[in-house]
Amino acid sequence: MKGIYSEMARRPKRADRENHDRWLISYADFITLLFAFFVVMYAISSVNEGKYRVFSSSLNSAFSRTLIPADADLQSLDQDSVLRSLLDKRNARLAKQQQKQQEYLQSLLDNLDRILAPLVSKGQVSVVQSGRGIVLDLNVRALFHEGDATLQDKAAKTLSEVAAVLKPGNLAIQVEGHTDNVPISTTQFPSNWELSSARASSVVRLFIREGVDGKRLTAAGVADNQPLVPNDTPENRAKNRRVTVTILTPQVQQEQDRP
């Protein structure tokens, strides 16, 4: 027995045979993962018509308008058609807004014409609509005494009626004071700049007192730098002494608000 064990101990062990097919396991795993990947990608790319219609209905409810018809053929929906639909609706909405703005400005113009009709008939006030908005040119004779910036009682009453018309809106209002080219030099008003600024400020203060939001108002003195007519006769100089009130259109207001 001892001899048998000794012989077995001396016999060399048979070398294990190397397996050259082990790569098939990794390859099979890779193919399985690749198949699963393409299945997931296909599932994602497939349009779920039921979910799409639920999404469309949600948009309709949120915006109170149909961006995409609920019964539309999904195959016919492309970026161009959706974009055209959105542009058409935006243009229609802008057109409606512009129509409302024009109707409001026309109503404002009619009311101001009615209130200022007595002064318009005397040539002391003009009411016009320009590209910037509605412009009121009020001659100084209808508002102030010569060389003064305190509103006369009758003028204050008329401007209070104007303020009542302007109060409900939200459009910006610019008030500018203008003088002729005859210099003034008093303790209160060293030059026409101070006089024109004080007159514009008097009108703004009255508007605020009558309930017009101060954030909508601006006051500026222009002195004699923007005459209506040449300052070559007493009559022309009288025309240039005025206060201009401009109710700006929304477009002009937006341009001025830009940095």
Indicate the domain borders of the chain. Answer: 22-77, 100-257
100-257: what fold?
60s Ribosomal Protein L30; Chain: A; (3.30.1330)
The neighbouring-strand residues paired with 221 are 177
Instruction: Give long-range contacts, CB 8 A cutoff, 24+ apart: 224-230.
Output: 224/178, 224/179, 224/180, 224/181, 224/192, 226/176, 226/178, 227/178, 227/180, 227/181, 228/137
Angle at 29 (CA atoms; ends 27, 34), nearest 5 degrees: 95
Predicted confidence band of residue 38 (pLDDT cuts 50, 70, 90): confident
**Angle at CA 43, nearest 5°, toward 39 and 48?**
165
CB proximity list for 221: less than 8 A, separation 6 or greater: 176, 177, 192, 193, 194, 195, 196, 197, 198, 199, 200
- Integer Cα distance of 64 and 106 in angstroms: 30
pLDDT surpasses 60 at 3? no
Work out the burial of residue 238: count CB atoms within 10 Å of its CB; fewer than 13 is exposed, 13-18 middle, 19 or more buried. middle
Q: What is the pLDDT of residues 62-110, one digit of tens each?
A: 554 444 555 555 445 555 666 677 777 777 777 777 778 788 889 999 9
Give the residue from 184, 92, 97 showing the smallest Cα distance to 147.
184
Q: What angle do CA 203, 219, 250 make, to 5 degrees?
A: 105
**What residue type is assigned to position 142 of the chain?**
A
* Predicted local confidence at residue 12, as pLDDT: 55
Is the pLDDT score of 231 beyond 60? Answer: yes
Pick 56 or 204 by higher pLDDT.
204
191: number of Cβ within 10 Å = 15
